[in-house]
Structures are given as structure tokens and as C-alpha cells.
Amino acid sequence: MYFCKQIIKIRIMKSLRELYKIGIGPSSSHTMGPHKAAKIFAARHQDARAFEVTLYGSLAATGKGHMTDVAIINVLKKVAPTTIVWQPTTVLPFHPNGMVFKAINSEGKADEEWTVYSIGGGALSEGKADGDEFSTPEVYPLGTLSEIMEWCNDNGRKYWEYVNECEDSSIWDYLKEVWETMKQAVERGINTEGRLPGPLNLARKAPTYYVKASGYKQSLQSRGLVYAYALAVSEENASGGTIVTAPTCGACGVMPAVLYHSWKAHDMSETRVLHALATGGLIGNIVKQNASISGADVGCQGEVGVACAMASAAACQMFGGSASQIEYAAEMGLEHHLGMTCDPICGLVQIPCIERNAFAATRALDANLYAAFSDGMHRVTFDRVVQVMKQTGHDIPSLYKETSAGGLAKSFSNIIKTKL
């Protein structure tokens, strides 16, 4: 801990516990975050006669598909009747996923009006520079991959060792819990048949892909199994199962697929998997710090794109990549998802989300292999791609950022209205 506590005083990046969150799907920003906010507000107003919750922007636009209203009402109704107000065309200043909670007393007046934002990955914010209820301690003094890579090279260390330097010792127990949850999600998913909830009536594919993969020769079998593992976790998420945000619910299938496949196919030790989790988490943390992991803010490049970068780095770590090769793998994982929109049909985390997880998992393994063949030298740094991703995300029209008003979602709007 000497480096983090003594040499550099200012810490700017939060713990991996804030990135990897264990919870219920289908959406970290639209389900987990609002559910958490509702629990906090209910605890403060046990004597309320009624609640009113107004959802703004993306939360309102895709909230029905993401079951945002259900997540909130299931908590608040235990105290008092709850009304949900939908304002999809109004966006609050701090973030597209804004909520205003009101506690109504016996005189019909509001005892408290609380504005809170679900900013991605299950995290909440009051949008305050100071005194934010959800502010947590920063533990990492370096906030870019270039700086961390320099530290690794100067000290003969690996990325996971930087995590070990800056986090407290309990981080490894937490990452072990994260890994167990990921494994369980894969194994439930490949053994559960049926259809996914919602009007699309999609059949689960993971069990079929898992069985079919065994019939192919090794190279194709490997690819088929990665598909199956990613589908398994993503379908568990879409069904409201327990998963890990990596970095979000919508992208939760990528990391588990890569880690589980590498663990099973190459007989990797648990320790090696945990080191890979730490390395991938560092990548996700850097993007969360310097850009965004919210689809409502920067599109799907911030979710599946970041998940691919995390998994690329994790795979490269598992297979013995150098610091520069790991950085290169992460850079490719994110770079080749730049500009990806977030246009979920019916607001459900199903189409195109589930298949995107499967393809991103295989792309992560490709990025690892490509980086492994190189000496790690390349022109565009990961940190530069993060900057570009942030700017690109802000340039993308809101139609394509988790509003279900453009892209694939718009094409299917009439069909969905008929089914609903």
C-alpha cells in the first residue's frame, strides 16, 4: 500500500466494488439504480400517505420495458400507494436518467422532493459537486491507463498488482464472490429453457448453442461455447436473474463468457481468473472515471464496447500478456465499438443486446490473440479512444441513446404497439 498512501496523496478513481455490482437484471441503470433509490426514499418516509415518482428522459422512454416502474413500486407500495409520472421528452440537467421522488403527507403536501440520477452500472448520484449522498471514497491515485502502465513498467508489476496496491485486502474476497456469481449465472443459463419475459416472446438460445457446440471440431466448438456462455448470462439478466454488472447489466454477458471459457478450456486456476477480473475491472473503472458506462449517456459503446475492452484485457492478462499488450487488447476492444448506438426494441434488454454480448465476447478473444502476436506497440492509445468514445457518445442524437425512439426500436414500434 506504500505507493498509494505515501507517494501520491490525491486519489481520483473509486474501488472496483463500485464497478462490479451483484444484483438483479435486466438493467443496471433502469432497474437496479431506481430500485436502490426507492429503498432509500422509503426508509426516510415510513409515515408517508402516498408517493409520486416522476421519471425523466431515458428512464421514462424505456422504463416500461426495463421494468423501472415495477422496481420502484414494489418497494414503495409496502409503505404507501405510489404513482409513476412519465416524462420521456424532458431531460434533467445532470444526466438523462433523472428521477424526482415526492413523499406526500396526510395534508396532501410534499414532505420531501428528492432529485436523484441513475448514472449507469447501478450507481446513483444527486448531481452535486459537494455533499452528494452517494459519494464514495476514491482509492486509486492514477486515472489513466497510460499512467498505470508506466507505473507497472517502472516497478516491474502487473495491472492486478496495482489493484492490490490500492485496494484493501478484502477486495480479493469480493472478487471471488463476483466470480462465483458469474459462474452461477453461466451454469443456470445453459441449463434453463423457455422464453424470455416480454412481448417479443424470444426463446432462450443458450442451452441449444451449448449442446450444438459439442458436435463441432475443437476450433468451432470453442467459438460455439463462448456464444453459449455469453447468451446464458445475458438471458439470465433479461429474465431478472442475479448477475454482475460488468460494467452494466446490459453488457453483463461478455466478461463471464470470456473468463468461464478460459477457465474451463485451459484449466486456469481461480487465482489467475481473479487477477484477470482485477485487470478488466481497472479498464472499466478508467472508462467510468473519464467518460461514461451509461447507454443513455453515450450509447451502447459505453456498455458492450467497454465490456469488450474489459474482457480483452482480462483475456490478455490470463494468457500472459505484457502491460503494453494488455493495453493494446483493451484499446482494440473499445475502438471497434465506437459509435455503437443503444436502440433496444420495446425498451427490453433483449434485441439487439443479447446477441451483442455474444459477439463482443468472441471479439474480446480475437483482440487478445491479435495483441499477443504483436509487440504491444501501436499508434492510438486506449486513453485516446476513451476520449473519442466520450465525444462520440455526446455527438450521437438522443434517439439512439436508450430511448427506443430510433434505429431498430423505431422499426419495430408498430409491431410492439400491436402486441402490447
Establish whether domains 18-125 and 139-415 are of one fold.
no
Distance separating alpha carbons of residues 368 and 237, to the nearest angstrom = 26
Q: Where are the chain's structural domains?
A: 18-125, 139-415
At the fourth CATH level, the homologous superfamily of domain 18-125 is D-3-phosphoglycerate dehydrogenase; domain 3 (3.30.1330.90)
Grid cell 494488455 in the structure block, residue: 326
| Contact indicator for 61, 97 with CB cutoff of 8 Å | no
pLDDT tens track for 271-329: 999 999 999 999 999 999 999 999 999 999 999 999 999 999 999 999 999 999 999 99
- Backbone angles phi and psi of 170, in degrees to 5: -70, -10
In this predicted structure, what is the pLDDT of residue 4?
54
Q: What is the CA radius of gyration of the chain?
A: 21
SS3 378: coil
Q: Please count the other Cβ atoms lying within 10 Å of the Cβ belonging to residue 208.
A: 14
Low-confidence ranges of the chain (pLDDT < 50): 1-2, 5-9, 420
Distance separating alpha carbons of residues 74 and 69, to the nearest angstrom = 8
| Contact indicator for 82, 68 with CB cutoff of 8 Å | no
In this predicted structure, what is the pLDDT of residue 419?
52
Helix boundaries (H) for 247-303:
254-265, 270-290, 295-298
Residues paired with residue 187 on neighbouring β-strands, in sequence order: none
Specify the CATH number of the domain 139-415.
1.10.4100
